[in-house]
Amino acid sequence: VKRVFSGFQPTGDLHIGNYLGAMVNYIALGEKLGQDAIYCIVDYHAPTNPAAYDKDLLAQRTFDAALVNMAAGLDPSKVILFVQSHVPEHIELAWVFSTQTPYGDLTRMTQFKDKAAKLQSVPAGLLMYPVLMAADILLYKADTVPVGDDQIQHLELTREIARRWNLEYGETFPEPQGYLNPHAPRVPGIDGKAKMSKSVGNTIGLLEDEESIWAKIRTMPDDPARIRLSDPGDPERSVVFKFLQYFAPPELVQVLREEYRRRGIGTLVVKQLLMQEMMKTLRPIRERAEELRAHPEQVLGALEEGAAKARRIAQATMEEVREKFGLLRPK
């Protein structure tokens, strides 16, 4: 691992899936790599899904995404944290790549199909999403991308784009690999079904009110096979246990599993413990978020510095790309 790049879309409140799937690794890799850990709030991605985009909320959500990352422990004086639209080279490289990427490679992307199926009118930008994502990563010549497993297919395409470019225009880009959190590659939504996603509304927000979180956990489905209270429960089938594993010490989870199987305890008790254990992780994040909220200049200042650092790398790569691509360079 030499250089890491990853990003969040400002499409809504960041949730525990984002935290466990991506942010935990952002922080760990950032500690190791410093300025070679590059994290971006990818605001130009947000409008590709009209269901999750609102021009009146975009700027605030972008700010909040940066704030939550900082509150969770990402130190912007160590890593590079910035906003995509502050570095216009992302869009420029995406255009270059779009001319080199078969249309059919994009229409077969699962995320495109899923999101497009829910829309009346599908923006061309939604199809282009993985090309912009490839540009985001390759602009920094990153070799490692901490993500949830929903992004693995997009990363395959990124590698194909890099490979194709290198063959045609000379060795330029590494072929980046995904970096998953083995404990939480795909956090399910609170209904236990689809992946937890900002745009689906099945989330537990990192900064969500405690009462609101409890209301969601309280009504989370149990093992669907457990109909009567006297039926034994299967912790493997319960999304409550899945969540508990993310937050509680393994010994506690083990004891509760046994009890649940023997139906020595009801789901409500497990849910109460889940709430308690989860809040141990979330509480310090909220406290730091509140402090940062009182000092927005700290967040904005960090983003400004981050963009300046990112731009230096991005400009150098883009100059190389323009040259190799055969454009007439100005005197």
Q: Looking at the annotation, which residues are catalytic?
A: 115, 195, 198
Question: What span, in angstroms and rounded, lies between the C-alpha atoms of 38 and 172?
Answer: 19
Residue closest to ligand ATP (Cβ): 21
Known binding-site positions for ATP: 9-11, 17-18, 148-150, 187, 195-199
Known binding-site positions: 9-11, 17-18, 136, 148-150, 187, 195-199
What's the closest the beta carbon of residue 202 comes to ligand ATP, in angstroms? 9
What's the closest the beta carbon of residue 84 comes to ligand ATP, in angstroms? 12
Token pair in block for residue 148: 């949830």
Instruction: Give the count of beta carbons closer than 10 Å to the beta carbon of residue 206.
Output: 21
Token pair in block for residue 153: 């297919």
What's the closest the beta carbon of residue 230 comes to ligand ATP, in angstroms? 34
Q: Are 11 and 61 a contacting pair, CB within 8 Å?
A: yes
What's the closest the beta carbon of residue 18 comes to ligand ATP, in angstroms? 4
* H or E stretch covering 255: helix 250-261
Nearest 10 degrees: Cα torsion 66, 126, 161, 93: -60
Using the minimum distance from each CB to ligand ATP, give the nearer residue, 144 or 233. Answer: 144
| Residues found near ligand ATP in the complex (CB under 6 A) | 6, 8-9, 11, 17-18, 21-22, 52, 147-148, 150-151, 184, 186-187, 195-199
Question: What span, in angstroms and rounded, lies between the C-alpha atoms of 237 and 89?
Answer: 46
Using the minimum distance from each CB to ligand ATP, give the nearer residue, 87 or 96. Answer: 87
Q: How far is CA 245 from CA 67, 190, 241, in A?
A: 27, 14, 6
Q: Are 90 and 136 a contacting pair, CB within 8 Å?
A: yes
Using the minimum distance from each CB to ligand ATP, give the nearer residue, 6 or 267. Answer: 6
The residues, ordered by sequence, that sit 6+ positions from 24 with a Cβ below 8 Å of its Cβ are 181, 184
What's the closest the beta carbon of residue 42 comes to ligand ATP, in angstroms? 7
Known binding-site positions for L-tryptophan: 136
Q: Across-strand partners of 5?
A: 38
Q: Which of 106, 289, 295, 297 is nearest to 209 (CA)?
A: 289
Using the minimum distance from each CB to ligand ATP, give the nearer residue, 39 or 260. Answer: 39
Using the minimum distance from each CB to ligand ATP, give the nearer residue, 240 or 318. Answer: 240
